[in-house]
Each structure stands twice: as C-alpha cells, then as structure tokens.
Structure 1
Amino acid sequence: MIALLFVSTLVSLITTGINQRIMELRLGHSTVLEARHTVVLGWSDQIFPVTAELVTANCNQPRAVVAVLAPKDKVEMEEEIDARIPDTGTTTIVCRSGCTTDPAVLARVSPQTAKAVLVLPPGADDGDTHVVKTLLALNAVAAEPGDAIVVAAVQHAHNRVTAQLAAGPRGRVLAIDDIVARLLVQTARQPGLSLVYQELLDFEGVEFYTVAAPTLTGCTFGEALLSFTTSTVVGLLRENATVALNPDPATTIASSDQIVVIAEDDGTAVVADAASCIDEEAIATAVPRTPTTERLLLLGWNRRAPLIVEQLATYVRAGTTLDIVALGDNATMPSAYDATVAPQHLDVTMHCADTTDPRVLTRLNVPSYDSVIVIGDAGCTPTGAPVLTQVTEADDRTLVTLLHLRSIEETTRQTISLTTEMTDDRNRLLAPVRAGADFIVSGRLISLLMTQISENPSLADLFGELFNAEGSGLYLKPAADYVHPGSKTTFATVVASARRRHECAVGYRLCSQAATSPTYGVRINPDKRQRVRFTADDWVIVLAGN
C-alpha cells in the first residue's frame, strides 16, 4: 500500500509537470534554442509577405527557422500563418507570444544568435514609438550583438533618425512614407516601372547580388558590363562597403571590389564574355528630345501627399501643373497644403471634391492629363491630420475611384496613365483596371525591401540610391534610342549601345505583351545571346542618371 501511494504520487507529479510544460509551450513562453535563424518582431499585415519571402529565400537551406514574437496568442498566430502560407518548404516557423519591448520576453526568440532581426511597424498612431522601444530592447537583451543584421521600418520620415540611433551601427531603418512617395512619383513618370521593381524585389525571379570576380581585377566597369552572359552588371561594392551604381564605364575595378549583378542566383553569376555577340550595325543613335511641361492629377490626400508633391517638383520641368482633388473644404485644404514645402517648379491647384463621385471625375476630363496618381483619400484638416483613419476605408474609396476611371476609359476609348497606391495587396486583386496597370502596395513593398536587406545588408545603400531623385535610377526608354526598330538583334547589342550613353541596360518591355500576364511584357536580365526583334513601341529598361 505504501509502494502504491508513492507510485501514484510520483505519477501525479510527472503528469502535472508534463501538463505544465505543454501549457507553457502552448502559450509560447518557452525559449527558442536555435542559431542562425531569422527573428520577426511584431504583428501586422506585413507578417504574411515577410514570412512568405523568407520561405522562398530559404528554399535551398535544409533546416531554416523563422521565429515570430508578437503580443498575440501563439496558436492563433500559427493558424493565421498556416492559412495564408500553407507550404513552408524547408522552413520551420516558430511563434512565441509576448511584448516585443520587454528585454526578458525578447530573449525567448534568441536574437543574440540570429542571423537577422526584422522589426515590423504595428501600423497604429504610436507605431514608430513602438519600433524605437523594440530596438532599444534588442540592445538591452543582446549585450554582444554579434553579426546579426537588424532591419526596421517606421512610418514617418522624421522618425527615421531616432530609430537609426536606437538600432545602432548594425541596424538598417526604412522610412515607409518616404519610399512609397518616391516610388509613386517615379512610376507615375515611367509607366511600367512598378512591374520592374516587383520582379527585382521578390525572391521568385531575379534579384540583386554581390559576387567576387577576381578575373576582372584591373578591367574597366564598361568591360565588365559584357563579361557576364546570364547576369546583368549594374554597379560595384567598394572595400568600404559603399555601393556605386552605374559608375563611369572607365572606372577601374580594384581587387577588393565586388560586382553588383542582377541574377537568378549568386551561383549563376559566372564570368563569360558576351562581347562577341554585339551587332554593331544594329546600334542606333538616340534623337535628342526637348523636355516639355506636363499636366498632372493627384486624386486623394493622406499623410504621404506632401512628400509626393515635393518629389514631383524634383523631377518635372518648370511650368508643369498639378491639380489635387481630395476630401475637405475650401478652408482646410489650402491650410493643409501650405504646411508642406512649396515647390518651385510646380504650379499646384487644390480642389475640394469627392473623388468617388463620377460627376467630379467627368468634369475633370481625366484623359487629358499626362499622368494620374490615385492615393488613399484620408481628407485634410488644418494641421494635416487624417479625417478617415481606417486603412480599409481608404482602400475602399480607392477601389470606387478606380471603377469610375475604368468607366471613363471605356467611354472615351482613351488610355489613362494611372498609378495607384494601396495598403492591402488583397485589395489590388479587386481593382477594376486594365491588365498590367501600375500599383504601389505600401505594405508588400516594405516587406519585400526588409527581407531583401535581411539577406544582404549591402542592398540597403543600393535601394537608397535607386529611390533617390539625385542618384541613378531605373528608367524605361524607347528601344529605338538603342537599336534600329525591326531588326532582330542580341541583348548584348542593347547593352553595348546603352554603355555608350553611360547607362546599364537591365532588360526590356515588349509592347505586344504589355497586357499579357504574368510578366506583362517585362523581361529582366535576359541572356545576352538571346535575339529580340524590337519595334518603335517597345522599351529598354536601363539604370541611368536623372
């Protein structure tokens, strides 16, 4: 009887301990015992594209781990991720529950042994403050940070400096509003550019890589442009970790330099001379074009609108007009605009109207504008604060506006050069626009940038120059400026022609396939030996100065 008593007591203690351990695991309070894993801190709609891209990036790694920490129930997080990303391949996704600003809780995901830490913005009004506190907590939990790269994102550009100080030298901080505004303006002036960025930023197609090429030491950058047949050279990574995009073709490559390429994988970037594929007779000379003034239309107003206006002024010629139509009244809208920096090269006129009203769009004669930008309309107050704060409501209004613009296109049989900003990528799939239209989905865009930088920290400087109006950027230019229309020639010929103009040709877009999914005529990093017949309506995608 005594033996049975002790055995039953022992069994009871073991059962209780096991139940407590199971409950602890279920609540997500245990420590992740991993190394060289990726940590994602925070929970928002960006968690799904970030996780999906990390799964794609880790497809060639046998035992990759992504640890997610957020103030949310562990089982609920796992169910939501499993519903949105059913196939995680070789990647194991581990969820832990807790506050990301508490150093003791942060230790559960072992950030000190991770290869990368991504801090997602919560999306609330105090989201930037939460990101800064999370970065400070990271410094507290990891006394010796190691070699982990920290990538964070803040909404407002003026909070970027504060977040960068909190992140420290190993951190990279992205300003969401600034990047989205820059891309909206660049895409509005270069239709089809959003498709190019989408191809370059996700891990399913081609991406930016840095590779060592010792055989090119002492060669010029112009010679390196034609030294890869299946990869596209776009710049140099210097010894001091700075990136030089599209340097002068006469620049000499040092032994410590690495080559920045666009390739399907870093293993495919193999030196192979393509100079023998050049067809000199097919190279054309570009006809100089005189810059002209433009008529631009901005439908909607939100916190990014002042940045969009400021960026437009850096690109356009003096005398260009911009009409802004948004919610508000005749007293508050001018006050909201006056709070921004008045552009010198842009004549701005503000109109108080509802962009979801078809009568308003009809009176505007939308097809007469050179470019139209549609953003989520949150309205204006004298201080510029949003009237409508719900993201879903702003996207819903954008969808209604796009529906009326599509009706105008069908009625007038004229194509509207349209660039649209949305927050939720699922709403983009509902948009009633023509196939291949330009969309900048802010949440997905920042998610792609964060995952790219987490895999290769040097890309932070590269993207910073791409999105800067003063640096080298991506442009779609007429193919007739590079090769004679109608001739079937190799892409190496296009690269050689662009080199004479101090540009890097990275791809092309065929007009005949512009409405055909999934690429819509865009081809990035084609084989330089491939022959293509260009027409006068086709475009060459180049990396060039402004």
Structure 2
Amino acid sequence: FQPHLVILDDEVDYERTQDFRVHMKSHWNRHLVTFRGGNPVRQDELERVDPANASAIIIPAASFIGERRGIVDTRTIKTLLSIKNCLPDGEHEGPRVVVEILDAMKVTLAETAYGPNLYVVSSETMICRLLAQNIIHPGLSDIYAELLRNSSGNGLFIKRIPEFSGLRWDKLSHSLESGIALGVLQHASPPICTLCPENDYIMADEDSIVFIASSYDDIRPSVSTASKVSQEIFHRQDVEALFPIKRILIMGWSYKIPRLLGEISAHTKDRAIIDIISVLPIEMRNEFFQRADLTYHNIEIYNLLGDFTESYDLDKIDFASYSNFLIVASDSSDNNDDADAKSVMGYLMLREKIKHQSPVPPILVELLDPENEQLFNRKWGEVIVSPLIVSYMLANVALKPELMLVFDELFDSGGAEIKLLSTERLELIGEFSFEFVSDRVRSLGMIAIGTKQGKLATLNPDSRKKIRFSAGDAIIVVR
C-alpha cells in the first residue's frame, strides 16, 4: 500500500519540492506526491486539495516557533474549523485528522473545533516525557527512534490473532514464531490499551495484541500453540535501573522546561537536585513556572544566571557534582540552525569540562534539525531530534490510529515505561538465549524487548539464538 500524498503549503517552489525529494530518498515517487499552493486556514484555498475525501489529514505545527507557539496553535485550530466547513451538509464526522498541538492546554479546544475522528499529538507533552525517560534511563534514545520510525528496524504493530483467544498472557510469547507481544488492546468503548499486563490475563475473542516486530507480516503464531508455561526462576525484586539520577544540570532554556521537570518528578521516586543555567533572567523563568502551575514533589530547582557557551560562566560550575547533563534546544533563537549551533557549542564545551571524569556522566542533547545529528560523537552522549520524533508519531497515527493509545500508555508517567536492567543484577553473565532471558524478566512482571551491549541496542533478537552477555550489558525491558 502506497498512499498518494497531497501537500498544501503557502509556498510551493522548486527548492521546496527538491528538499522534499532529498528527505524522502528511495521512497520518492513523483507520481504519488502532489504539491498545491494555498493557505489551509482559508476554506476556498483548502478546497483545492478536496479534504472531505482524504483518507487521513496530517497538520504539523511549525518546526521552530519560539514566542509564537500560541499563534501556531491558533492557526492549527482555525485549520480544523476550515476542514469541518468543507464537509458536505449533514455530514458530522469528517476524515481522520492527526494534528500536532504545541500547548497541552489547547488540546481540548482542538477536539471541540473538529469533533470525532481527531487524534491529537501534544508535542510538548510527548517530548517532555521522552526527555524525562531518557534522563532517568540513559540509553533509550536510539530505542525510541527505532520503534517510532517505519522505514527500518523494528516497529510497533497491532494485530488480532484468533488462535490466541482464551490463552493466558504468560503462555503467549512461547506461541509466537517471531515478534514480541507487548500488550493488549481491548476493543471496549472507549478502547483500552494495557502494556505489560498481568501474567494470568486471559485473551478475549475481540482483543488485539500490541507487538514489536520487523513487519506486520512477520507476526504469526507458531505451528503448534505452545503449552509451555514460564517458570518462576528468578525472584529477586531489588533489580534497579542503570544510572540512578541524583543531580542534573540543564543547559539552556525552553518554554517546555517547567513541564519537563514535572515529568521528571512524576517518573522518579528518588529526590533529585536540578540546576538550570541560562541567560534568560531568573524573574522571567519564575513567571514560566508560575504559569505552568505544576507541583514538584521530589525535586529541588535552582536557577543559575549565565551563558553555557562562555568559559567564564562555566568555570563557576562544579561539573564533577552532577550525575546527568541535558542541553535543551533554545526557543529564543531566530531559526533552527542558530538554536542547534548553540547546542553544539555547549556540548563541545561540556565535553572539555568533563573529559577527565570516569565514567563520563550521561549527556542528552536536544536538537531541532536532523542533519545536525551527525555532528555529535555518540560515545559522549545521546541526541534527540524533537521535530523528527513528533513527525514519526504523526505518521504512525495517520496510518495506524490505534497506536495513539499505545503512545499515551508508553509515554505517560502513570503507564508502562522502557528501561534498562543490568545483566549483573539479573545474574545473566554468560551465554543465554533471549527466550531464557525473557522468562527471567517475565518472572519480575516485566517484558524483555531487546538487549543493549555497549552502544549497540538490538530490539526483537532471535529468541533461540545464544547471546553472550558481559558485565556492563543491559536488557531492554518494559514494565
């Protein structure tokens, strides 16, 4: 299945179409992409692309918005109203629309504007949750990127397999030829997604299963449904995540920092000290915190005034006292390139300051342009390209709308989460099959989805192939 893409934009020129062609690479097909000039807010120009007959409509926000994020959301909501007005008389439910809203407080307004069949990706909320989880569990950025993109590696799929009706959840993994069962989608009203359900959960006839697999067609039951039951072979309950956070230095300022700190507070039970160094006056930062109106139960926040790209200001900081570093993309720059340039400079100066520390504390860098990712040395940290992650989510939900429930469950602080467990604590030093590893992890009420050895993360490995684990390796789990 290859959808025909119709793109409506104010500016359609040769440079724009060539840029699109370069980014699509081998997926480019000029017969399946149509460009139309027009403003989607204006109904007469929107009708040029016949939105009422679209299979799905995607409305992304601006890639860089700074102080204008409220204006961008207003424009998005006006576009939803224009689409609604394009529907034939008497038709109350329009085509599926997947929309990016920057401010989480405006999600309800978007839903009111369009009505049913609207899927909202609150990018500020999702990115904050992703950053928070990567701070608490360093090493997850590549894992999330692989799960969210459709072009290569393993992805998230939802499939109903009638043969599994009446089967206990803990028997299900041994009944699969390939793929990893991650959770259950119950087709109730409204639908309910449960990742990592209880082992004694019984599959109902109408249940679908959330899988991690290399493709939809690779998900299939084994020839004979297994009767093997996972054995309770491991009972230690003190297994901890790698890199417990203690003190974090955030370099730079972004409008989403108050919500980010709220997510860190919600995702961790341990107390943490968070310092924020930025040139933005502390009074203005305090105003952002007051507007957010969030409560931080287990973190202490200290604002430092200074430029993290200036040695004079960095010399005042005791870098050895920090367990984690985060460089956020600035939203006060004029464009993405300037914001990323400052992040790159800060990253290089941070590397110089901590080059003699052993081990090097986890570094997480947020970028806005995917082309700048190649500037970073992966040995010294991780990179999250925020607009790219959001675009993956928008595309996934447009093609498979049920995945919105999976994303909400996976990224919500109250839902399941991906984390890394030490092979030493799991007593898995040596050679084991991934099937054996999965049984051991399942006895702790978790699901093993892959391995991480050094910087190499492998999702959905061959369950029967032996893997040699050493000290410092980790098992990627969902709990």
Please list, as runs of the form range in 1=range in 2, the aligned pairs for 1:85-234 lying within 5 A after superposition: 85-89=24-28, 92-122=32-62, 123-124=64-65, 125=68, 126-143=71-88, 144=91, 148-203=95-150, 204-234=152-182
Question: Conserved in 2, the CA contact under 8 Å of 1:284 and 1:480?
Answer: no
Question: Conserved in 2, the CA contact under 8 Å of 1:374 and 1:421?
Answer: yes
Deviations 1:239-260 (A, max 9, x none): 2232221111111101111111
**1:286 corresponds to 2:236:** yes
Aligned residue among 259, 268, 272 for 1:307: 259
1:468: which partner in 2? 412
1:239 and 1:289 map into 2 onto residues whose CA distance is 34
Q: Which amino acid aligns with 1:434?
A: R
Say if 1:139 and 1:309 are closer, same or farther in 2 by CA, change over 3 A: same
Instruction: Report the structure number with the largest CA radius of gyration.
Output: 1
1:11: which partner in 2? none
Aligned residue among 307, 315, 332 for 1:354: 307
Identity %: 23
2:324: which partner in 1? 371
Question: Conserved in 2, the CA contact under 8 Å of 1:208 and 1:261?
Answer: yes
Question: Conserved in 2, the CA contact under 8 Å of 1:96 and 1:108?
Answer: yes
1:261 and 1:319 map into 2 onto residues whose CA distance is 34
4+ aligned runs moved over 6 Å, structure 1: 273-281, 290-293
Please report the TM-score for the alignment, with normalisation by the length of structure 1.
0.79
Comparing 399-408 with 324-333, greater Cα deviation is found at: 324-333
Shift of 1:105: 2.2
Paired residue secondary structure (1:475): strand
Question: Conserved in 1, the CA contact under 8 Å of 2:61 and 2:76?
Answer: yes
Paired residue secondary structure (1:268): coil
Paired residue secondary structure (1:347): strand
RMSD: 2.6
Say if 1:415 and 1:146 are closer, same or farther in 2 by CA, change over 3 A: same
2:346: which partner in 1? 401
**1:437 corresponds to 2:381:** yes
Q: Which amino acid aligns with 1:415?
A: V
1:196 and 1:501 map into 2 onto residues whose CA distance is 22
Deviations 1:56-97 (A, max 9, x none): xxxxx3x64111111113544323322433533556111011
Comparing 149-158 with 138-147, greater Cα deviation is found at: 138-147
**1:501 corresponds to 2:441:** no
Say if 1:202 and 1:351 are closer, same or farther in 2 by CA, change over 3 A: same
Q: Which amino acid aligns with 1:183?
A: L
1:163 and 1:249 map into 2 onto residues whose CA distance is 38
Please list, as runs of the form range in 1=range in 2, the aligned pairs for 1:315-326 lying within 5 A after superposition: 315-317=267-269, 319-326=271-278
Q: Which amino acid aligns with 2:478?
A: L
1:490: which partner in 2? 433
Give the number of equivalent residue pairs.
464
1:205 and 1:165 map into 2 onto residues whose CA distance is 37
Question: Conserved in 2, the CA contact under 8 Å of 1:278 and 1:496?
Answer: no
Paired residue secondary structure (1:489): strand
**1:269 corresponds to 2:219:** yes
Deviations 1:319-350 (A, max 9, x none): 42111111134544445445443412111111
Q: Which amino acid aligns with 2:42?
A: D
Shift of 1:151: 0.5
Q: Which amino acid aligns with 1:232?
A: I
Question: Conserved in 2, the CA contact under 8 Å of 1:220 and 1:249?
Answer: yes
Say if 1:336 and 1:258 are closer, same or farther in 2 by CA, change over 3 A: closer
Say if 1:313 and 1:339 are closer, same or farther in 2 by CA, change over 3 A: same
Question: Conserved in 2, the CA contact under 8 Å of 1:483 and 1:497?
Answer: no
Stretches of structure 2 lacking an aligned partner (at least 5 in a row): none
2:468: which partner in 1? 533
Q: Which amino acid aligns with 1:507?
A: G
Question: Conserved in 2, the CA contact under 8 Å of 1:229 and 1:527?
Answer: no
Deviations 1:459-496 (A, max 9, x none): 0011011111110111111123445312x111111111
Question: Conserved in 1, the CA contact under 8 Å of 2:239 and 2:421?
Answer: no
Shift of 1:411: 4.2
Question: Conserved in 1, the CA contact under 8 Å of 2:265 and 2:298?
Answer: yes
**1:295 corresponds to 2:247:** yes
Comparing 95-104 with 122-131, greater Cα deviation is found at: 122-131
Paired residue secondary structure (1:429): helix
Q: Which amino acid aligns with 1:192?
A: G
Aligned residue among 5, 20, 23 for 1:81: 20
Deviations 1:112-149 (A, max 9, x none): 22221101113542111111111111111123477842
Say if 1:368 and 1:180 are closer, same or farther in 2 by CA, change over 3 A: same
Say if 1:276 and 1:494 are closer, same or farther in 2 by CA, change over 3 A: farther
Question: Conserved in 1, the CA contact under 8 Å of 2:87 and 2:94?
Answer: no
2:341 and 2:87 map into 1 onto residues whose CA distance is 43
Paired residue secondary structure (2:383): strand
Q: Which amino acid aligns with 1:238?
A: Q
Please report the TM-score for the alignment, with normalisation by the length of structure 2.
0.90
Question: Conserved in 2, the CA contact under 8 Å of 1:132 and 1:163?
Answer: yes
Say if 1:277 and 1:327 are closer, same or farther in 2 by CA, change over 3 A: farther
Stretches of structure 1 lacking an aligned partner (at least 5 in a row): 1-60, 379-385, 515-520
Please list, as runs of the form range in 1=range in 2, the aligned pairs for 1:385-396 lying within 5 A after superposition: 386=332, 388-396=333-341
2:438 and 2:269 map into 1 onto residues whose CA distance is 29
Q: Which amino acid aligns with 1:370?
A: S
Question: Conserved in 1, the CA contact under 8 Å of 2:169 and 2:197?
Answer: yes
Question: Conserved in 1, the CA contact under 8 Å of 2:84 and 2:94?
Answer: no
Say if 1:167 and 1:76 are closer, same or farther in 2 by CA, change over 3 A: farther
2:158 and 2:211 map into 1 onto residues whose CA distance is 6
